[in-house]
């Protein structure tokens, strides 16, 4: 099942740089692993903001919840989730 997830990161301004760098490094590794597994299908940065719009391909709602709560930046994120379904006019076979 496909989901559109809009993620806004709201890190505390007083977070130490070293801690922030370590969390961001873990986040990048986790996100890239999910992309290799074809779970995190697309990611786009929203220009000028610490925000992205992503497409996830998960088995179900519980799987998506597991994936999202596993993000190292999860405690500092505001998320909006929209379940998606294939549009009948789409010519792309992988739009399930």
pLDDT at 88 exceeding the cut of 90: no
The chain-wide mean pLDDT, for the chain, equals 95
Q: Which residues neighbour 8 within 8 Å (Cβ) at sequence distance 6 or greater?
A: 49, 50, 51, 77, 78, 79
Looking at residue 96, its pLDDT comes to 65
pLDDT at 94 exceeding the cut of 80: no
Mean pLDDT, residues 73-90: 94
Domain 2-84 fold: Alpha-Beta Plaits (3.30.70)
End-to-end CA distance of the chain: 7
pLDDT band with cut points at 50, 70 and 90 for residue 19: very high
In this prediction, what percent of the chain has a pLDDT beyond 70? Answer: 98
Domain parsing of the chain, residue ranges:
2-84
pLDDT at 93 exceeding the cut of 90: no
């Amino acid at each position: 099942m496909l989901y559109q997830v809009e993620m806004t990161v709201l890190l505390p301004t007083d977070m130490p740089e070293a801690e922030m760098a370590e969390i961001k490094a873990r986040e990048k590794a986790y996100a890239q692993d999910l992309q290799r597994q074809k779970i995190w299908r697309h990611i786009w940065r929203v220009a000028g903001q610490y925000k992205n719009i992503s497409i996830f391909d998960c088995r179900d709602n519980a799987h998506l919840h597991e994936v999202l709560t596993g993000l190292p930046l999860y405690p500092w994120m505001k998320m909006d989730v929209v379940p998606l379904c294939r549009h009948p006019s789409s010519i792309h076979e992988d739009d399930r």
